[in-house]
Amino acid sequence: MRLAVLGLGCWGLVLTKLLSDNFESVTGWSRSIDLSEELLKYKRCKKPYEVQLDDKVHITSDLKEAIKDADIILLVVATSAIRAVCKQLKEAGIKDNQILVNASKGLEQGSLKRMSEVIKDELPNQTIAVLSGPTLAQEVLEGQPTAACIASGDIEIAKKAQSMLNVPNKFRIYTNTDVIGVEFGGSLKNVIAIAAGFLDEMKFGDNSKGALLARGMAEIVRVAVHLGANPSTLWGLSGMGDLIATCYSHLSRNNTVGRMLAKGKKIDDILQELGSVAEGVKTSKAICELADKIGIETPISKAIYMAVYSKENSKEVFLQLMNRTLKGEENFSKA
């Protein structure tokens, strides 16, 4: 079996290392400007984590070469680059029966589409699946037990990808056919994680964190179910599982963004300091636009959007959440 990993950022490199033993051949692709001499020559990267790839991994900037004869292709580029890379995949001759698995979480700016929708726009006949769950890269790199789900509208495709990506004792894969729920769960929790990091830095305590997770999940459920998700999906790995991990872990880039916002830093400086993508930043804008479009309330996401993109005092923005019009909790998914 042959694996191609497109995008050798933090998560792409970790997945390449994790899955190498599952495949006879592994190829990693990235743009030439993103490939360091150390990675090309020694199969090694030191930032943000030290990753040493297996000797059998081939690194290239030639997309046609990368996907040639691959049984499964992992798409691990920033969400803002998904459409462009899919256009390149079409030009490179990707085959319809090659399983394309998206592992990036977010919504496209402007169109407000989920990543599988963007992929289908550019590759309408492609066999696709989505990988999501509580998968903090550093813990996966350390070999700590991790579970995730692979979602596809075709259960047989999900099962085939499951068998190829499952790593005994390290990376347990569950199947799901609810692509909508899996994608919204994985994307929207990043916004709530920014709020969680803010609470951590402000020393607001576990009562606040518990309320944030509950009300944050209510927002995720409201939006996702309205747009066709199965509610039970949001209580699974790509929903509650991913929400808990990213909201409580300081390994999360989105959680880190929230903590830095609470220190009074500006978003441009934060992203430059991080040196990597924090998808929750752009997703906060996209979800607010989407929620307005479909008439759904998302007060926490709106507070994050205001904290990130406006000049208002971040602490005041969050405290305003406590003084909204009083409501009942009986209808959790609509209140």
Q: How far is 59 from 13, CA to CA, in rounded Å?
A: 11
Query: What one-character-per-residue DSSP string does 71-84 give?
Result: SEEEE-S-GGGHHH
What is the CB neighbour count within 10 angstroms for residue 240? 18
4-19 in b/e form (b: 16+ CB < 10 A) is bbbbbbbbbbbbbbbb
CA 87, CA 126: separation in Å to the nearest integer? 12
Using CA atoms, how far apart are residues 216 and 219, in angstroms rounded to an integer? 5
Dist. CA 308–CA 59, nearest whole Å: 36
**Residue of 17, 189, 285, 302 marked catalytic:** 189
Residue 316: strand, helix, or coil: helix
189 catalytic per annotation? yes
Sign of CA dihedral 251, 255, 261, 262: negative
Residue in this structure with the two tokens 């407000």, named with its chain if needed: 112
Which sequence positions are flagged as catalytic? 189
